[in-house]
Structure 1
């Protein structure tokens, strides 16, 4: 643990920043400010050490302010601060793409860079539609998401996403979108690892095909683990069955691995962990351990090669971002991948998974706990909502944890945990001790 720093003053004016996914008025009445971080801990504005139980926002997989990553960013900023990615390139972009492709399973060997998970998702959806058009099947434009899914905040991502709060304020969204049923089944409550019931929920795709016809459907996108909705673990056989149905109907399968990518389950990707080969993977967060914004859409060879036709001087895909493959992001990604490899962090996550599972399920019987879910180094602790005040109990537990020195994520009445992969057994014990006390103290 780092030594506490001196206290920092709260800015006198908090009004100008319109904070994302935050109750702004509530927060600004009692702000929680982080002023520094190192390894497994933040330092709060009042000088307290806060154990990071959520890897920042599911992203700081290598831990905070890691020297090799910081140094790589500093050196890159002093060498090449920016280089255009349209009709130009720089060496680290190609190196980073090669390193990512080498980690991805099967023939997922081409990488399109963006700046966030939201952009990676919109990129994948556009590639899916353009792919079918390029192969002469322009009628395949329909996109299929899943209830309770989260795929970022672009119009494509919220259209295929299934979180009502993210959708209701923004009109009809994209046309031609449908949704699979979610995988949350109450009879799987308190499952350890993958729940046994629910493989057949993948057959929801057959009902959608019967309604719209497969010839209209471009792609299905799902999170292998639905994270932002409260950690929904896929039932045994579900992802495999979904892959089989997509193959049957000529539909592309996209895994949104913005959360599960880069070691969260003890493997480079959830696709590797589950042994299921998607046609595309979207990634971000852990790619740079949260240090510099970066997203990536990883594409199978056959999908990529379909675009590589016509005159060699023709642009194959009219899509991209000013900051695609930004030099600082590429430097951060390469250094982060080195840390994962050199310190064996994916292996550490795999090794600690049984102890993590035991700690998670040690909360069974705690007041108001109605379900516990876990896989790898991720957990969801679901609390019973208060009558007439859904989300209030979860928020109070979140605040109490912060006051006691632990940062967790809260979504409604579900507490989510996903620590940096450098976590150790003692820190897991500390984490769940604080969480248990917070749950006990909130009625």
Structure 2
């Protein structure tokens, strides 16, 4: 009964993605950050080995971003970008993003985050084919283990079953299907089974994040792209995690030599300092909506905070930091160092089943008898934050400003935890 009272008497905040009885009473209240570290209200200083939720690329509490937000708010906090109205910061950021885009001559749709971006991209894919008069092309394909946010479309195309369960239907938005994570032949069979005439788009992360840090099998993404082109299926690349430097390139699309129709982005565009996301749209998709003709259709996207002026100003300052501090070349160095450290860990610790590195993203998969949640909790006690992912995997994705010694210390702490687990 006392446990029930503790739960019922907990804080008003309903924590995200939480089995509440398991976390209430032991939550970490974060009240400060500096560089690669965060601080809790009970006095702990923790190395942020996940960069928050994959976003704190330039580290925490960078003064330049605070100054950008302050200056913009004193001038104009925001104004919407509906119809004839637009604010100067949204215009400037869109031009800069278009210049960085792997898609040539794109238009830029701005919104409030990654889940928003996925919803817009999937709707735009379907709207494209309806405008083309190909009304049966409505199905959206995605991959097993995929995570694309938790709005209605992101929930519907999730390749993590637990994110789709419990809503009274297999898919909140109808006409979705999932394909095997690395199997191009299985994708071809799915296209045949559903019929290319019924498929609007395929959505894929270039490197799966929440699904366990799964890099693509060699040649997989290129073959997927070829199948999409062959069957007239739009390719949507979800770069919410990988965009803005996480792979050592500005976009993983560049790293893997892809030419998608749509790219979604968020997190790294502001390093999490303000909520912002969006979609880069290829000319074949946007041009019909720009024709000087009374019959030109309207794509009904937009939200109150789309193109939020302060968020856009913060994004511009963040992009400046990435360039000025040469953080993308640093990511390449960190990738090589992490790869070496994790290979050593795999060789030394029998409790490690597999390690994976792609860019400054790492996954350490543990033996089934060692619960990854317990390992993550033990790491916190040593002063390091990791995160349990699908497949009994520990997440490694620190800020780009991480030092070699900090990265070595993080992997050493993982080894210490696993050594203790093996001795249990």
**TM-score range relative to shorter protein:** over 0.9
| Equivalent in the alignment of 1:134 | 131
Matched, 1:168 2:151: no
Give 5+ residue unaligned stretches, structure 1.
1-12, 184-200, 387-391
Describe the SS at the equivalent of 1:231: coil
SS at structure 2 position matched to 1:255 = strand
Q: Structure 1 runs of 4+ off > 4 angstroms?
A: 312-315
Q: Does 1:319 align with 2:316?
A: no
Show the 5 A alignment for 1:34-49: 34-49=30-45
Structure-2 change in CA distance of 1:108 and 1:266 (3 Å): farther
- Relative distance call for 1:227 and 1:73 in structure 2 (3 A) is same
Shift of 1:263: 0.6
1:425 aligned partner: 404
Asked if structure 1 preserves the Cα contact closer than 8 Å seen for 2:103 and 2:280, the reply is no
User: In structure 2, do the counterparts of structure 1 residues 209 and 361 end up closer, same or farther at CA, with 3 Å as the change threshold?
Assistant: same
- What TM-score do the two structures reach when normalised by structure 1? 0.89
**Which of the numbers 353, 364, 376 marks the counterpart of 2:335?**
353
**Equivalence for 1:434:** 413
Shift of 1:310: 5.7
CA positional deviation for 1:205:
2.4
Contact kept? 1:146, 1:181, Cα under 8 Å: yes
Aligned to 2:111: 114
| Contact in 1 for aligned 2:205/2:237 (Cα 8 Å) | yes
Match of 1:394 in 2: 372
1:106 Cα offset (Å): 3.6
Question: Could you give the per-residue CA deviations for residues 52-83 of structure 1, whole angstroms, max 9, x where no partner exists?
Answer: 11111100111111111111011112211120
User: Counterpart of 1:218 in 2: which secondary structure?
Assistant: strand
Q: Is the 8 A contact 2:65 2:314 kept in 1?
A: yes
Matched, 1:333 2:311: no
- Matched residue, 1:300: 282
Map residues 3-402 of structure 1 onto 2, 5 A cutoff: 14-87=10-83, 88-107=85-104, 109-172=106-169, 173-183=172-182, 201-309=183-291, 311=293, 316-364=298-346, 365-386=348-369, 393-402=371-380
Deviates more, 1:19-28 or 1:308-317: 308-317
- Measured against aligned partners, the alpha-carbon deviations of 1:246-298 in whole angstroms (never above 9, x if no partner) come to 00011100011111111111001110111111111111111110011111111
Cα RMSD after superposing both structures = 1.7
Give me the whole-angstrom Cα distance separating, in 2, the residues matched to 1:373 and 1:419.
15
Give, in whole Å, the separation in 1 of the partners of 2:389 and 2:337: 24
2:384 alignment counterpart: 406
Deviation per residue, 1:158-212 (Å, 9 max, x gap): 11111111011122222211111113xxxxxxxxxxxxxxxxx122221122112
Q: 2:6: which partner in 1?
A: none
Contact 1:367/1:440 (CA < 8 Å) preserved in 2?
A: no
Secondary structure of the residue that 2:178 maps to in structure 1? strand
User: Take 1:202 and 1:309, find their aligned partners in 2: how far apart are those partners?
Assistant: 37
Deviations 1:192-249 (A, max 9, x none): xxxxxxxxx1222211221121111110001111100111110110000000010001
Distance 2:132 2:22 in 1: 52
In 2, Cα distance between the equivalents of 1:439 and 1:44? 25
What SS does structure 1 have at the residue aligned with 2:356?
Answer: strand
Distance of aligned partners of 1:169 and 1:384 in 2 relative to their CA distance in 1, 3 Å threshold: same
> What SS does structure 1 have at the residue aligned with 2:307?
coil
Partners of 2:105 and 2:42 in 1: how far apart?
A: 46
Q: Matches of 1:101 and 1:430 in 2, distance apart?
A: 39
- What is the TM-score with the length of structure 2 in the denominator? 0.93
Aligned-residue offset at 1:108: 5.6
Q: Deviations over 1:385-429 (max 9, x none)?
A: 23xxxxx71011111111111111212421011111111211111
Indicate if the aligned counterparts of 1:221 and 1:255 stay in contact, CA closer than 8 A.
Answer: yes
Alpha-carbon displacement from aligned partner over 1:1-41 (angstroms, at most 9, x marks no partner): xxxxxxxxxxxx74211100122222222221211001111
Separation in structure 1 between the aligned mates of residue 414 and residue 66 of structure 2, nearest angstrom:
31
Counting matched residue pairs gives: 410
